[in-house]
Amino acid sequence: MREDDDVTTQETAPEPALEPAPDSGLDLETLDPTARARVAVLDDLSWRGLIADSTDLGALAAAAAAGPITLYCGFDPTAPSLHMGNLLQILTVRRFQLAGHRPLALVGGATGLIGDPKESGERTLNETEVVHAWVERIRTQLERFFDFDAPSNAAVMVNNYDWTQGLSTLAFLRDVGKHFSVNRMLDREAVSARLAGAGISYTEFSYQLLQSYDYLQLHRQYGCSLQTGGSDQWGNIVAGVDLIRRTEGARVHALTTPLVTKADGTKFGKTESGTVWLDPSLTTPYAFFQFWLNSDDAIAATLLRMFSFRTQAEIEALEQSLHERPQAREAQRALAEELTDLIHGVAERSKVDAAGRALFGQGEIAVADLDLATLDAALAETPHAVVSRAEWAEGLTVADALARSGLVASKGAGRRTITEGGAYVSNIRITDETARLGAEDLLHERWVLLRRGRRHIGGIRLSDA
């Protein structure tokens, strides 16, 4: 799976035909408990809405009943971190391992040098040294999600650069290229869109061959018989299925998850400030937690099913709460806590959760007790203005600060907010419309926390200069 860009179209499968199925088709009661768990993961994926396409769910279920399946999902290092577009795939593979199957976590040290075609245009290729450095960062991120020491189904980390760096062009064209129809490759929506516009390089056009070759090599080396990914990768994945059939005479499988979109149809995993990354230096744990906490009610139930590891009964109870008490945001909070625990750890989640409550004057921790790093991360995500220390020394009214931060439209609106009782500094209500900020209002000699009403917070940050 190379779901690392804004590709949102679903590929048309060349072969074999799709077989959408509501369940695995096997009688789980006839299986021993271990085999039952291996098969039940497919029914669980279906209930969670995680199966968009599959080559043959019945055959896949039969293979799972017979023994553990080795599966893989690929992640290209086109950035220094994984992001929300990758997370659903990671968690889907994790579900397979928890059910008893063996995952291969592939980092695309080779394919990351090429790039999967985007409809928007040709990629700028990154330097080899940069891509290799990103490979190591992504390997480290993936290690936290899978069990590499399990006694019977330990995960394996693989890098496709290992089997492509010494591959000759002639061997690749003879042994792999001859099995691909150019006509079929042209059917890919991203490719056809590029051909109708500025065109496409041979480099990106050949990407499908490289991804298919990955599946073939993993099948030969590890007995891999299932590749998973996002539905935008369907064409690439089944091309690998077809290559294995042609070269090895073996039947292997493909399974994709649906692309996740917001209620307005835009891509999930992006905010106004950009991509939501899994690296805390790119997206802070506070911002990560708030991303889930503030997710729209319209898709909260879908997100719970897709991303949470809670049981069906637990999720259905949260969905009921979402329907009956949407203002409580219990579903969103449960998801925010679970995923922040998984990505950043329980201690970090506790800290940012407490910070969020403190900013609104809730919980047991006062905003003045937050450490500077947490305060920086929290208020950086809010509307705020940067003020020089020289300007601060000249004095700033609360009404002016509200306007400068963007919490109100003007100084006049700031004064009205104060007289109406809706203005707060560090969660203390301000009643004097002429009130000025002072040293006592500074948090860590850097921030002033402002609030308008119950839900809108912002700030003033003093510059270092």
The span from the CA of 47 to the CA of 23, in Å, is 8
pLDDT of the chain, 465 residues: tens digit per residue:
454 443 333 333 333 333 334 455 677 778 899 999 999 999 999 999 999 999 999 999 999 999 999 999 999 999 999 999 899 999 999 999 999 999 999 999 999 998 887 777 778 889 999 999 999 999 999 999 999 999 999 999 999 999 999 999 999 999 999 998 888 888 777 787 777 777 888 888 888 999 999 999 999 999 999 999 999 899 999 999 999 999 999 999 999 999 998 877 777 887 766 889 999 999 999 999 999 998 999 999 999 999 999 999 999 999 999 999 999 999 999 999 999 999 999 999 999 999 988 988 887 788 888 889 888 888 888 889 999 998 998 889 999 999 999 999 999 999 999 999 999 999 999 999 999 999 999 999 999 999 999 889 999 999 976
Q: Residue 22: is the preceding peptide bond cis (ω within 30°)?
A: no
| DSSP-derived pairing of the beta strands 274-275 and 428-429 | unpaired
The span from the CA of 376 to the CA of 443, in Å, is 10
Whether 384 and 401 have beta carbons less than 8 Å apart is answered as: no
Task: Write out the two tokens for 107.
Answer: 């980092």
What would the DSSP string read from start to end of 205-258?
HTHHHHHHHHHHHHHHHH---EEEEEGGGHHHHHHHHHHHHHHH----EEEEEP
Q: Which CATH class is domain 382-465?
A: alpha beta
Task: Write out the two tokens for 230.
Answer: 């996002």
Please state the domain extents for the chain. Answer: 28-260, 382-465
Give Dmax over CA atoms of the chain in angstroms. Answer: 82
Tokens 């008893």, residue?
100
- H or E stretch including 95? helix 84-98
Using H for helix, E for strand and C for coil, what is the string for 311-342?
CHHHHHHHHHHHHHCHHHCHHHHHHHHHHHHH
Task: Tell me which CATH homologous superfamily contains domain 28-260.
Answer: HUPs (3.40.50.620)
Summarize the chain as % helix, strand, coil (round to 5). Answer: 50, 15, 40
Q: What backbone torsions phi and psi does residue 47 show, to the nearest 5 degrees?
A: -60, -35
The span from the CA of 158 to the CA of 386, in Å, is 46
